[in-house]
Structure 1
Amino acid sequence: MFFRPTIRLAALVLATAASAGEPRHGAAPAAAAAPPIASVPPLVSAASPAQLALARSVLVDSGIASSFRLIIPQYLEQIALSVTRTRPEMVPDLNLVLAAVRPEFDKKVDEMIDSAAQLYTQRFSQKELEDVAAFFKSASGRKYVGMQPVLMSDMFVAMQAWSQKISVDMMSRVREEMRKKGHEL
């Protein structure tokens, strides 16, 4: 019953895009096109400790690791909401328990960072990881990471307007073409 925050975020973005383009008067929603995926390089076998450390550095410096860290408080909050919705008398004790178990689960974030680092070493060569790490350590890379929340917010607003316009334009075109075939939508 608990949603994974990363999946929830993706679902929220997709749902927002879809709801911005909600059908009006029987119109069908516009289909979202996925961005093209680059060809996937073959998996590299075993990574050296140096390559794993470099991959971890990329995860930390790029801000990806901090997004893993956000999951723990979100899950704890979901548990609190779920339990206290039906058992409000438990709030004081539950708050103590959640505070007590949080450090245990905060440590588990490193497991995910290690797993992600392993995935990076399977898809990027040592040289590529060095290049990526250098970018994120540069002034431009640090600015890129720092601007991500602002850019995501800006893109969210832009995406809503764009998807609504696309939905309306697409339905208009489909209606026009269906009229040519003798159908009225």
Structure 2
Amino acid sequence: MRVAFAGRDGKRLIGAGLAALVLASAPALAQQPAPFTMGQAGTTAGTTPAKAAEPSAAQIKLANELLIANGEASSFDALIPGIIEQAAGSFVQANPDLIRDLRDVAKQLVPEYEKRRSEIVQILARTYAQQFSEAELSELLTFYRSAVGKKLVERRQQLLDDGLRGIQSWSAKFSKEMETRVRDEMKKRGFTI
């Protein structure tokens, strides 16, 4: 049984739920090797990158500023409400008559835990600071504070939506092309599929 608290904020909560799923599964995924693909035949697997050096306070500060400038600091705004609603919603199947009360409890808890959003931003800031030098962070920050950087942030969602629609259309056509090609190649080998 699937329970949705979403209502009018459905897209926001779905995004938050996906973000929660990604964040929750990240440690487990990080410990597992990448799955084998046909393109990896004959390559050596199992190498792990070296651990990044501990970032400086200046790097963390610049990374925080960058996350604000590039819009990523606010991209997880729906995560905490989504996790709270998901937690409350997990009790609905066993207690369907309590759905209204569970919804109220979730709504009541959001303001109390909203202040923990800064923890998410700090995780992201540390990640950026581990990957970029102080000079690189400054350069990125300069870009995102420029007119074109601000334009990119403002139009990011539209770009992603438009790009995704284009990629889905291309993917459908490419898939049909590949089905035909595989069928033709198999026919050359004496198989009709």
Matched positions, count: 157
Among candidates 152, 155, 161, match of residue 147 of structure 1: 155
Distance of aligned partners of 1:153 and 1:131 in 2 relative to their CA distance in 1, 3 Å threshold: same
Q: Which residue of 1 aligns with 2:186?
A: 178
Asked if the contact 2:60–2:125 (Cα under 8 Å) also holds between the matched residues in 1, the reply is: yes
Which structure's relative contact order is higher, taking Cα pairs within 8 Å and 6+ residues apart?
Answer: 1
Query: Please, which moves more after superposition, 77-86 or 147-156?
Result: 77-86
* CA–CA distance in structure 2, aligned partners of residues 133 and 43 of structure 1: 25
Which residue number corresponds to residue 98 of structure 1?
106
Distance of 1:124 and 1:146 partners within structure 2: 24
1:83 aligned residue (74, 81, 91): 91
- Per-residue deviation at 1:127? 0.6
In 1, are the aligned partners of 2:20 and 2:83 still within 8 Å (CA)?
Answer: no
Does residue 161 of the first structure (1) align with residue 169 of the second (2)?
yes
| Deviation string, structure 1 residues 95-130 (Cα, Å, up to 9, x no partner) | 332233212322222112112111111110111000
**Partners of 1:84 and 1:114 in 2: CA distance:** 33
In the alignment, which residue of structure 1 is the partner of 2:115?
107
Structure 1 residues 127, 42: closer, same or farther in 2, change over 3 A?
farther
The separation in 2 between residues aligned to 1:7 and 1:67, in whole angstroms, is 12
Retained in 1: the 8 A contact 2:84–2:109? no
Residue pair 1:57, 1:133 contacting (<8 A) in 2 also: yes
User: Could you tell me which residue of structure 2 aligns to residue 120 of structure 1?
Assistant: 128
Q: Cα RMSD over matched residues?
A: 3.0
Partner residue in 2 for 1:136: 144
> Is the contact made by 1:42 and 1:123 (CA closer than 8 Å) also made in structure 2?
no
**In structure 2, distance between residues paired with 1:85 and 1:149:** 34
Comparing 123-132 and 109-118, the one that deviates more: 109-118
Choose from 19, 24, 33 the match for 1:6.
19
Give the counterpart letter for 1:6 in structure 2: A
Letter in 2 for 1:65: A
- Report the CA distance shift for 1:98/1:7 in structure 2 as closer, same or farther (over 3 A): closer
Gaps of 5+ in 2: 3-15, 23-36, 40-47
Aligned to 2:29: none
- Once residues 168 and 8 of structure 1 are traced to their aligned partners in structure 2, the CA distance between those partners, rounded to angstroms, is 32
Alpha-carbon distance change, 104 to 7 in structure 1, aligned in 2, over 3 angstroms: closer
Give 2:71's aligned amino acid: G
Matching residue's letter, 1:47: P
TM value normalised by structure 1: 0.72
Runs of 4+ in 1 over 4 A off after TM superposition: 40-44
* Gap regions ≥5 residues in structure 1: 10-30, 34-39
Distance 1:43 1:137, change over 3 A: farther
Normalised by the size of structure 2, how large is the TM-score? 0.69
